[in-house]
Amino acid sequence: VQPIDTVPDWKRVSALVVIFIIVIVFWMVFHQNSITLTYWANDNTDWNVTGVISNAINPIWVLLLTFPLVGLWSWLDRRGREPSTPTKMMFGMCLTGLSFYLMYFAGKAGGYGVITLGELMLSPMGLSLVSKVAPIRWRGIMMGGWFVATAIGNKLTAIGVFWDDWLHSTFFAVLGTCAIV
C-alpha cells in the first residue's frame, strides 16, 4: 500500500482541482510566448525576429534546459533532497511569473529561457502528479480535467487583447502577478 492510498479520495480530487486552477493560469500566461512576447521582442530588441525564429526560441530552450534540469533532480534525489512534485510545480509557476517581471524590466530573449524552465517544472510534473494522486476509479476523469484546464488556460491567452490597451510593462506585471499568486 502506497502512502497516497491512505488519503481519502475527496482530498485527492480536491487537491487536483486546485492544481487544475493553477494550470489554467499557467497556460494563460505561458502561451503569451507566441503572441505578446513575440510582439515585444519584434518591437524592442535589436536583433531581427521573425515569427519562425521567435516561435522556435521556446523549443530550443526546452532542448537546452531539459537535461540539466533532470540532472539537477537526480543529483538532489541521490542526496535525499529532491523537492516534492507540488514543490517543483510551485517553483515552475514562480519562474513563470518571474519571467514576466523580467520582461517588465525590459528583458531580452532570456525571458524565454526563464519561462521555459517554468514550463519544464510545471507541465510534465503536473501531468505526472495527476496520475499519482488521482484515485484509480477517477484517474481518467482527472486526466481529462488536466487537459480541460490546459484548454481553458489556452483560451485565456486572449488576455493578449489588452496588449495595445495597457502599458506593456503593466501587461507583463499583471501576468507575472497572476502566475506568482
Secondary structure (DSSP) of 6-73: GS-HHHHHHHHHHHHHHHHHHHHHHGGGGTHHHHHHHHH-SS---HHHHTTHHHHHHHHHHHHHHHHH
Q: Which of 165, 176, 163 is nearest to 43 (CA)?
A: 163
- pLDDT for the residue numbered 110: 55
Burial of 124 (0-12, 13-18, 19+ CB in 10 A): middle
Task: Enumerate residues 6+ apart whose C-beta is below 8 A from 15.
Answer: 133
* pTM, rounded to two decimals: 0.74
Question: If the chain, 181 residues long, is cut into consecutive pieces of 10 residues, what is the mean pLDDT of each piece?
Answer: 88 95 93 83 64 67 92 96 92 87 61 78 90 94 96 95 92 91 90
- pLDDT for the residue numbered 108: 47
DSSP helix/strand/coil, 136: helix
- pLDDT for the residue numbered 101: 78
- pLDDT for the residue numbered 166: 93
Q: Which of 150, 35, 26, 38 is nearest to 95 (CA)?
A: 26
